[in-house]
Amino acid sequence: MPQAQRPEETLADIIKGISAQDDSFFAATVNKQDLLQQSAKDLQNIAADIERVRREGAVLFTPSTNGAEKDGATLAAAFDGWRANPPSIAALVFVAAEVFGIEKDGPGFKTAVMAGLAADTPHGDNTYHNTNHFREVTAAMIRLVAAGNALAAAGDTQAQLLEGNDVAKCIIAAASHDLLHDGKGNNPPGGAYKKYLLEDIAIAAAEPFAKLAGMAPADFEDIRVMIRVTDVSSDRALPMAERDPSPHTILRQIYAETHGQRDGVLKNFAVPPELAALTTNPKLLDMAAKMSDADLSPSAATTFEFSRQRTTEMSVEDPQMVKDNAMSLVMFGKFVMDGKFTSTTAETVGKKSLQSIFNKAAAKAEEEKLAVTNAPVAAAPTTTANANQKKPAAGAPKTA
């Protein structure tokens, strides 16, 4: 029986395949030279990074399903440690393959590794949508898959058991979902709103890797849907009442209806054709809901302190959309998340953390509001001229 390849050998073969591509392969994705430079670094450290992910990744691969608030603090601590000294996203993929049974000679694994290498590659100068975010969303997706599988195994009928290729697609979507993000959103300053603008850029950046790996077109279409539902935008040029619902809102509506969770808040929005598969494919709906929740997890499934730091990063990246205050976090919880996660899995494992974050955000926002209200009014500046000017005596005539 042939001996299995070591991770270094497997990764080296994948990188070799990327390096053999001509410039046209990279037209819509990460710069070739930058990608190969980062890939060389990931290759050098892959064995150590894999061991580290195995050692430090219990919060991801064996998460608690009792939804304790302390679990959010554990996740935030892991993310903080990885921001200071990050393991590669490729290492996350290798360990996920071991845990979830992803075939390492299959197109799903190979595409996931290549997407991880691209996500590891610094591009742009975004303060929020950068390699830290890509790694944390990928990690959050792994956590939700593991938690969902544990719930399904325990008899939860609303949880889907995901294996092999489906897990690979989840990881590919998470690693790829914001590739080549320009930090300006789908309502760019001075430009017209375009639904899926940045999502489709990310999809186009991931697609060459899927084709190189030989992924079936139907599998990549699932990834396309999963990335598109992370679009939380709508046309800000229109009055709120005239805006179409975001793809994220459509996802929430379909998920709630499918799982009997309608509470009178959601409206009967028409489902656009490109998201119609969510109404007929329960497993894809579960995967898409997990993708949406993973994308929001750094700000919603950790701690108030960690989440508030992400608000600051967003305010630097997109100051027109996000202000550096607690009220921005409150508004995010209310208008983007509607106070809860989309999937029942994320609600089960993250509800208490989410409630803690937004309760603390609301209290802090009130403090900040009072601080502004009670701030002393600055006195008018005193100049030498008006300081030396004598006041007219009482009853003296006013000068013109």
What whole-number distance in Å separates Cα of residue 310 and Cα of residue 114? 27
In the prediction, which pLDDT does 232 show?
Answer: 96
- Six token digits for residue 140: 């959050």
Range of the domain at 200: 7-372
- Three-state SS string over the chain comes to CCCCCCHHHHHHHHHHHHHCCCHHHHCCCCCHHHHHHHHHHHHHHHHHHHHHHHHHCHHHHCCCCCCCHHHHHHHHHHHHHHHHCCCCHHHHHHHHHHHHCCCCCCHHHHHHHHHHHHHHCCCCCCCCCCHHHHHHHHHHHHHHHHHHHHHHHCCCCCCCCCCHHHHHHHHHHHHHCCCCCCCCCCCCCCCCCCCCHHHHHHHHHHHHHHHHHCCCHHHHHHHHHHHHCCCCCCCCCCCHHHCCCCHHHHHHHHHHHHCCCCCCCCCCCCCCHHHHHHHCCHHHHHHHHHHHHHHHHHHHCCCHHHHHHHHHHHHHHCCCCCCCCHHHHHHHHHHHCCCCCCCHHHHHHHHHHHHHHHHHHHHHHHHHHHHHHCCCCCCCCCCHHHHHCCCCCCCCCCCC
392 within some domain: no
Q: What is the pLDDT of residue 385?
A: 43
Would residue 388 count as lying in a domain? Answer: no
The CATH number of the domain where 219 resides is what?
1.10.1300.10
User: Do the domain assignments include residue 171?
Assistant: yes
Q: What is the pTM of this model?
A: 0.91
C-alpha distances in angstroms, 116 versus 60, 285, 317, 362?
17, 23, 23, 36
The pLDDT of residue 266 = 53
Residue 331: inside a domain, yes or no?
yes
Instruction: Let me know if residue 67 belongs to a domain.
Output: yes
Closest of 197, 175, 165, 170 to residue 184, by C-alpha: 197
CB 247 within 8 A of CB 231: yes
CB 189 within 8 A of CB 317: no
* pLDDT averaged per 10 residues, the chain (length 400): 84 98 98 98 98 96 88 96 97 98 97 98 94 98 97 94 97 98 91 96 98 98 98 94 94 92 66 97 98 98 98 95 96 93 96 96 94 62 46 40
Q: Are 245 and 251 in contact (CB under 8 A)?
A: no
Quote the pLDDT of residue 4.
82
Alpha-carbon separation of residue 268 from 44, 299, 394 (angstroms) = 52, 28, 72
Within a domain: residue 379? Answer: no
> Which residues 6+ apart lie within 8 Å of 290 measured at CB?
141, 144, 145, 148, 170, 343, 345, 346
**What is the maximal distance between C-alpha atoms in the chain?**
111
Cα–Cα distance list, 120 to 42, 43, 160 (Å): 8, 12, 29
pLDDT at 269: 87
**77 Cβ partners below 8 Å, 6+ apart?**
none
Say what the pLDDT of residue 373 is: 73
- Amino acid identity of residue 339, one-letter, is G
Number of domains in the chain: 1
Residue type present at position 70 = K
